[in-house]
Structure 1
């Protein structure tokens, strides 16, 4: 009897499990609907300053606070949720910053904590509009005034006046008021200092505690005068700030050749509804070029329209056409070569993303292939088919690290539909760009 009861319970559980999973997924979707997703955090450490950039899929309101013992800058991003792909603890190698942590502070707030050595006058927090990422929050720590004497490493405790404005103690003679970038008057900035949740009881264990005071207690200490708050400081992107942001990915000055597979008389594989591989690869390539140029790279394209690459056009042999693509990269002395393709199989069930590199090529080619493949998977959610060696002509006959990425299966109805959409194209391009940035980073 017990055995029968056990089997009954097991069967009911199996039947109901998908329902529970769907309900949980639905609840999550409803909770984050209309909220901004924090998609990544990037760090560039230099001799004069460290720059931290938080990426989001839309502009976000924020509030800044300072805490002492140890010195920390806390930034709360309101109306935001943290993607589970973002690392919670960010490695740091800087004389200005000890540690960076990010987590979901409460149901609608993402908190960034930067444990630093520069005190209250040698950091700056501002948002950027425009550029390849819809929402970017920038945090600079160190020599932000152009005077190294002001980027002090051993900063004494900071005192606060009754208005909540920080003023350095007399021993901190080198400090001055931080400069904020000029704002574009066409941008309507949201004042994040209004309507903030200051309930000290709201905490979340996803943000780890610091070695001293717990930054999750920050709202409670605000009343005691141990914190400094500041509203949003929106800034327009200038050539200088864009150049600095580009340095975060290591793409500034890099020469990259993008090869959109097939084209012209060669349609490539064709999906169940008639979508052609040559069209998808070209759309991804053109979007990828836009992203890379915005990050400071010099981009060479084997083709930008639906055409063959060889000067012989449709009369070129397969080898002549493929060599023409290699020539674009070799003649430009590009740093890397990326060939974009869509996979295909006789069965529509085949799916996933594959990275390829020349079997006798360098380890750098394998590293590039691996990072680009992973970047695509992270963005479009396809399954991984691994990074594999190959003997493909375009990765064999290029003089630099090269990869051929099969983004997805055009023969798979779902993946064909995804990569025939504007969202799918943008995500695939972003994934490749992320992989390239990771490779150079």
Structure 2
């Protein structure tokens, strides 16, 4: 049985420090600490395997981040960030998925020949297909990926709600570059507001970092328990339980 690969992306890094907290915390350091803790918990979970896009203080271009997830055959891509706002009162965590507008603009790029040359999308090579067929295949792949992204993000937001305050009561949509993979379900988690002094203190607390990682992981495992991809431990468990959840990953 193959492990489910969770690609964990620590936002910012290197010459890109991200947001700065009132007490001088740098987003790039906090995101790396949380990403490492999440990877530790993922690797301690039977049936799951973590892949970190960065494990040191280095800069990685945004498009390269989701490309790395695809190259490592990730089943999920989670980008970790810390929010910031002009008012120190803004608070709470958020979970984002790609907007429909972002998905359609990326589809146009994927259909440009030079971007297709060496790429499989959803396990299908687009280069040797005519434009109409390639467009249909890409649309099918994106629709399934978007649906899975939203379902997983909803589960992760539920985990974060159990931990504490969320900024909004629902998942949000934005055209983040790192979320543009056409065949890897992707989400971006704003763990808290680094610009809020009380939340900045929490973000630097290893105990809270561990709780954040657990909340994200709980959402991920909850989704895969309900939608177990074939050939994985989660699918074997569902079969052993008599198919209680119904299998098949989008």
TM-score for both structures, normalised by structure 2: 0.68
1:434 paired with 2:185, answer no
SS at match of 2:171: strand
CA displacement 1:229-263 (0-9 Å, x = unmatched)? xxxxxxxxxxxxxxxxxx9xxxx710110000001
For structure 2, the residue ranges without an aligned partner over 5 or more in a row are 101-141, 226-250
Equivalent of residue 96 in structure 2, options 328, 332, 356: 356
Greater helix content: 2
Question: Does the alignment pair 1:332 with 2:72?
Answer: yes
| Deviation for aligned residue 1:398 | 5.1
Q: Compare relative contact order (CA 8 Å, sep 6+) and give the higher one, 1 or 2.
A: 2
Higher relative strand content: 1
Instruction: Tell me, in whole angstroms, the C-alpha distance in 2 between the residues paired with 1:383 and 1:333.
Output: 31
Aligned match of 1:95 = none
Q: Could you tell me how far 1:397 is from its partner in structure 2?
A: 3.0
**Aligned partner of residue 369 in structure 1, secondary structure:** helix
**Cα separation, 1, equivalents of 2:67 and 2:166:** 33
Q: Equivalent residue for 1:269?
A: 19
**Aligned residues: CA RMSD:** 1.6
SS of aligned partner of 1:341: strand
Q: Is the 8 A contact 1:261 1:340 kept in 2?
A: yes
Q: 2: distance between equivalents of 1:332 and 1:350?
A: 36
Match of 2:49 in 1: 298
TM-score, normalisation: structure 1: 0.39
Structure with higher Rg: it is 1
Equivalent pair of 1:300/1:328 in contact (CA under 8 Å):
no
Alignment pair present for 1:413 and 2:197: yes
Q: Which residue of 2 aligns with 1:368?
A: 152
Of 326, 329, 347, which aligns to 2:87? 347
- Displaced runs of 4+ in structure 1, greater than 3 A? none
CA distance in 1 between counterparts of 2:177 and 2:154 reads 19
- Residue 300 of structure 1, CA deviation: 1.1
What's the CA shift for 1:384? 4.0
- Aligned pairs (5 A) from 1:14-413: 253-296=3-46, 297-309=48-60, 321-360=61-100, 362-379=146-163, 381-385=164-168, 386-397=170-181, 399-413=183-197
Q: Paired residues, what number?
A: 179
SS class of match (2:187): strand
Alpha-carbon distance in structure 1 between the residues aligned to 2:55 and 2:152: 23
Distance in 1 (CA, whole Å) between partners of 2:81 and 2:160 is 12
- Contact 1:382–1:408 at 8 Å: present in 2 too? no
Offset of residue 373 of structure 1: 2.0
Query: Cα deviations across residues 270-309 of structure 1 (Å, max 9, x unaligned)?
Result: 1100011111110110000011111131211110111113
Structure 1 position 399, deviation (Å): 2.4
Supply the distance in 2 between the matched residues of 1:267 and 1:398 (Cα, whole angstroms): 28
